[in-house]
Structures are given as C-alpha cells and as structure tokens.
Amino acid sequence: MSTAINTLIEQWKQAVVAKDVEQIVSFYADDIVAFDAVTALQFKGKAAYRAHWQACMECCPGPGVFDFHELHIVAADDSAFAHWLAHCGGSGPDGVLKTCWMRVTAGYQRINGQWRVVHEHWSAPFDMETGTGLFDLKP
C-alpha cells in the first residue's frame, strides 16, 4: 500500500510542477477537506479547493523548486496517511530565486478501488512573539 501512496504523491507532485490544475485535483476525493498554508482556514470539497489552486497558479509564477524530503507513509488496506517536508520556491520579477520549507500532512482513502487524497494540510510555523511566518527555517 505504501508503494501505491508513494506513486500517487509523485504523480501529484509532477502535476503541480506542470501547473496542471485538472491533473492536480484529479487525485482529490470529492469531499476533500484541505487546510492550505494560505488565505483560508479550510477548503471544503474538490470544487472549492480547485478554485483555490486555480487562483494560486494565476497569481504565482509556479514552483521552480518543489522537492519533497523526509517522506513518511503509514498505510493500511484502504486508508493511509503521510507527512513530509516540502522545499518550495520560485523566482520573482527580479529573477532572484526565493525558497522556503513547508510542512505537509495528507490523508488517503481507497474509494471504489482508487486511492484518493481525502485530506491535505500545508503550513509554515509562525513566530509566537510577532505572529509572522517563519520562512527561513531549514530542516
């Protein structure tokens, strides 16, 4: 089961790198509950999360760096979860590459024989004093 989840994560990652929103959301369950790193407390359902992905792809240049590290998968017959660190970044208008590390947790279920992402949680930690994101932390 870990192999199936590992393959799903790799294919999903490639869809993000390709900025292919249809392909990205093809891995999501209809009733996915997503806690993304930005903008809203949660996105409930594939349509809402799809709209958020679309907005992100339109506002940002897309990841020039999008690497996953320390991936850990716990899989059962019909459900699984995984967590990893994502090294993300891209070049701004000035051409300078900026990267940061994010934390990712995802939950999966096999629905009608197909593994689907039913939950996704992306975040960066914040500084308790200032309330600002800590984007310069490294693992």
Q: Which is nearer to its own copies, 18 or 74 (CB)?
A: 74
Which of 26/109 has CB closer to its own copies? 109
Tell me the closest approach of the beta carbon of residue 1 to its own copies, in angstroms.
Answer: 10
Q: How far is the CB of 38 from its own copies (least distance, A)?
A: 5
Q: Tell me if 90 sits within 8 A of 121, measured CB to CB.
A: no
Q: How many CB atoms lie within 10 A of CB 106?
A: 23
What does the binding site for its own copies look like in residue numbers (CB under 8 A)? 33, 35-42, 59, 70, 72, 74-81, 83, 85, 101, 103, 105, 107, 109, 118-119, 121, 123-128, 131-135, 137-139
CB 27 within 8 A of CB 49: no
- Nearer to its own copies among residue 14 and residue 70 (C-beta): 70
Q: How far is the CB of 118 from its own copies (least distance, A)?
A: 7
CB of 90 to its own copies, least distance (A): 13
Report the candidate in 104, 115, 127 with the shortest Cα–Cα distance to residue 29: 115
Q: Which residues pair with 72 in a beta bridge?
A: 83
3-state DSSP call for residue 53? helix
- CB atoms under 10 Å from CB of 60, counted, come to 11
